[in-house]
Amino acid sequence: MNTQATPSPQFYLTAPAVCPYLQGEMERKVFTHLVGPRAAEMNDLLTQGGFRRSQNIAYRPACEACRACISVRILANEFQPARSMKRVMAINRDLVSNVFPPQPSTEQFSLFRRYLDSRHQRGGMSDMSALDYAIMVEDTHVNTRLIEYRKREPGAGISAEAKGELLAVALTDVMSDGLSMVYSFFNPEAEKRSLGTYMILDHIQRTQTLGLPHVYLGYWVKGSPKMGYKTRFQPQEHLTPRGWERFVEEYEG
């Protein structure tokens, strides 16, 4: 009988840094590496425990004086779109989505840079190069997919080989209990399309089709305008010290 113990992940703590979401706060993170044959299993467990993935790192906030970052997941099987969300789906009915392995392209990076330059000029990702983008996409040991959203070409119909204008991209992990939206970006000039909302709605539909219960959205920070959109997708659960609990907020859609 093999009595050798299975290696346990090693966790580390970052040094304090300025919080990107709440003014005057400092953030710290606890993290571990997602590598090896058990990476996908570990990613499932850690995501369900409030961690997020970035490349081959899983991390979660470990701030000394603040607990504002709260993990959020949508209950996909119970979700019903609000009126405004139905309008978003209607506006984007001319889009075609295609799923690919995590392989970057120059077209994706060009859209990524436009998005960063418009929406996140002072963020931690603002100086990312083409190589940095490639590493963000490719450096994964879990079940990751790239979803491209393109405008359907006139007369093309619904085609798996869509070659129209690339409007949005989502980097998504496929887990045992749902989909985790690792990172997404879109054409910042297409404001009327509400592409960020559309991609979340599309992930809810994909999760429903897979027969899985959850769409993981990462962290919601109450009081941060950057994060306010996440509570619009009801019903959802928030991770509390007591575990995952249903969160209800009035929203007029």
Closest by CA to 108, choosing from 139, 136, 142, is 136
Residue 5 has pLDDT above 60, yes or no: no
DSSP for 66-97, please give it: ---EEEEEEEGGG----HHHHHHHHHTTTEEE
Residue pLDDT, tens place only, 118-155: 876 565 676 799 999 999 999 999 999 999 999 987 76
Residue 161 has pLDDT above 60, yes or no: no
**Each residue's pLDDT tens digit, 61-110:** 999 889 899 999 999 999 999 999 999 999 999 999 999 999 999 999 99
How many Å is the maximal CA-CA distance in the chain? 64
The stretch 170-196 carries a mean pLDDT of 96
What 62-67 contacts at long range (C-beta under 8 Å, 24+ apart), as own/partner pairs, is: 62/13, 62/28, 62/29, 62/30, 63/19, 63/25, 63/26, 63/27, 63/28, 64/16, 64/26, 64/28, 65/25, 65/26, 66/19, 66/22, 66/25, 66/27
H-helix or E-strand spanning residue 46: helix 39-48
Comparing 116 with 6, the larger pLDDT belongs to 116
In this predicted structure, the answer to whether residue 189 has a pLDDT above a threshold of 50 is yes
Q: What is the pTM of this model?
A: 0.90
How would residue 3 be classed by pLDDT, with cut points 50, 70 and 90? Answer: very low
Task: Categorize the per-residue pLDDT at 156 as very low, low, confident or very high, splitting at 50, 70 and 90.
Answer: low
